[in-house]
Amino acid sequence: MSIKCYNLCMSVKVKYSNGVFQPLEEVKGATPGKIYEVFSREELQKLAENLHWLKAAEKSFDFWNNQEDAVYDNF
């Protein structure tokens, strides 16, 4: 199975059994030892439904895009 990448995300189908998530097919492209987070299809749907609200709210924080507050950009 190849990994579908969407910006910073990937999609891998897994099966949960006895406290362990197991890929349903071979996973290519994942970094060994790296920790990944798993979301259910329902959780991903909720995230997608709320994304437009987050994008709309983004503009209300434009006032923080200035030189005086730039020191906080890396926190």
Instruction: Spell out the domain ranges in the chain.
Output: 4-61
The pTM is what? 0.43
Is the distance from CB of 4 to CB of 30 less than 8 angstroms? no
Nearest to 36 by CA among 9, 63, 2, 5: 9
Is the distance from CB of 64 to CB of 38 less than 8 angstroms? no
Query: Model confidence over 18-54: pLDDT tens digits?
Result: 999 899 988 888 888 888 888 888 888 888 888 777 7
> Residue 70: how many CB atoms within 10 A of its CB?
10
What are 3's two structure tokens? 């990994």
Please name the residue ranges forming H helices in the chain.
Answer: 41-58
